[in-house]
Copies of this chain bind each other. A is one copy, B any other.
Amino acid sequence: MFYHDKRLQYKVRVDKPNPAFARMLQQAIGGVEGEIRVCLQYLFQAWGSRGPVKYRDMLLETGTEEMAHIEMLATAVALNLEGAPASLKDEFAKDKMVGAILGGMDPRHILSSGQSAMAVDANGVPFNGSWIVGTGNIAANMMANVHAEASGRVLATRLWEMTDDPGMKDFLAFLIARDTMHQNQWLAVLEELGGFSGQLPIPNSFPQSEEVQGFNYSFVSTNISGDSQAMGRWSEGPSIDGKGEFKFVKAEPLGGEPQLGPPDPRGHAQKEEMTGNTGGISGLVDKVKDALD
């Protein structure tokens, strides 16, 4: 279960409220790279964790920390919305700047939330539970988590570039630091479990002898215009997992043309699809004539 401390994990100060920046911050709350996603992702992974308990505990603790990150970002949004324009009327005509700000902000920050953060991204698209990934396989989960922290830190550095408000820059620099740790943290689990040679291919519990051999370490080139430049570490030499040798092969079709059966009559395709007569009425006449000849 969970407890709450009224104080924030880190200080959140907005020196000069900016409703357009409030909108941008929403990406870090309810966007696919945002904190609701990592918070719930780590917690759901923990709640379904069936391996050694220390991974469960670690996920629970970091998931709980991310909760505090949502809290700080929501506070930052609310503070940036103080003084937001609440009207399109006279100011709009008087001052083009107001129009520009209104254009740059999320109108629902006035209309729907009344100067508060929402569970949406920078375009007002709602948070979506499908972004919460937990597979029941710890290595796949760690990869999902590294990915989340990588895109999260990229986002945070872009937000940091977007503003010159000292309070916001300091706060974002804290989030950036935490993302550094979390990238390292999830990869540390993989290293502890044996690194790439031990963990790859994920899942490592499927017998590789069952794979169709000859395709598991080949780069398949589908390029058809001159020479492919898609060569590098992945097209020759030992594979990253140390279990194969990379090869470069040209794509070629190994299966034939697919043959589907006729449609089920109760599915009501057009008659012509069921009879194969595709020439319309005159085609039918032709076919009958042919048959008579």
Contacts and interface: CB of A to CB of B under 8 A. Distances in A.
B11 A1 contact: no
Closest 8 CB pairs of A and B: A114-B136, A48-B116, A103-B103, A123-B124, A127-B129, A8-B255, A194-B280, A51-B273
Interface string A198-234: 1111111110101111111111111111101111111
A206 B157 contact: yes
A251 to B, nearest CB: 7
A288 interface: no
**In the complex, which range does the number of interface residues on chain A fall in?**
35 or more
Given A130-B128, A200-B184, A203-B270, A64 B120 contact: no
B271 A61 contact: no
A202 B50 contact: no
Contacts of A116: 44-45, 47-48, 134, 136
Given A8-B253, A223-B4, A130 B126 contact: yes
12 contacts: A4-B63, A5-B223, A9-B253, A10-B255, A11-B254, A51-B276, A111-B122, A114-B263, A123-B123, A153-B206, A160-B210, A203-B268
A125 B126 contact: yes
Interface string A13-41: 00000101101100100111100100010
B181 A255 contact: no
A289 interface: no
Given A1-B253, A177-B213, A200-B183, A192 B271 contact: no
A132 B118 contact: yes
A193 B260 CA distance: 21
B268 A154 contact: yes
B132 A140 contact: no
